Amino acid sequence: MQSLNPNSCLIRKILVSLIVIFICDAGATAQATKPAQQPLYLPDPTPRPPDLEKKYETDPAEVARQKQLATIKAAQLRQQVVIATDKLLVLTQELEADVEKREHGTAMTPQVVKVEQIEKLAKTVKDKTKAQ
């Protein structure tokens, strides 16, 4: 048998200890890579009122769109009131002219129809101005 010199014994011991360290480190890494358990979800045991700001949160673009729609609707309503008022004015002027031309002994049937139209128009104008 060959005699081992002291340096080769030292190198052998170092190699053995490195192999042991490597094997132990590899085992620890294998254990660390195991899938972790998923955490349990437990609902909050103390009930709280809902966050209303978050629940009914509105988008600024949606608010702007709603304001724009309200403005358009108000403009349409004003336009309808102006048209109805102009028609009301024309009907009242026609009725005035008919009453002035009418003789005292004749029937007022056409004027009664105009009066009813004027009343209906006045009521619609009143309702639409209340809606604004």
pLDDT at 5: 64
Give yes or no for residue 7 having a pLDDT over 60.
Answer: yes
Structure tokens, 15: 């190699």
Domain borders along the chain are 1-32, 60-132
Q: What is the mean pLDDT of residues 108-132?
A: 82
- Report d(CA 129, CA 91) in Å as an integer: 20
Of residues 39 and 108, the one with the higher pLDDT is 39
pLDDT at 68: 96
Global confidence as pTM: 0.49
pLDDT band at 30 (very low <50, low <70, confident <90, very high): low
pLDDT at 75: 92
Of the candidates 119, 115, 84, the residue with the CA atom closest to the CA atom of residue 98: 115
Q: What is the mean pLDDT of residues 82-106?
A: 84
Q: What is the mean pLDDT of residues 46-75?
A: 85
Amino acid letter for position 118: I
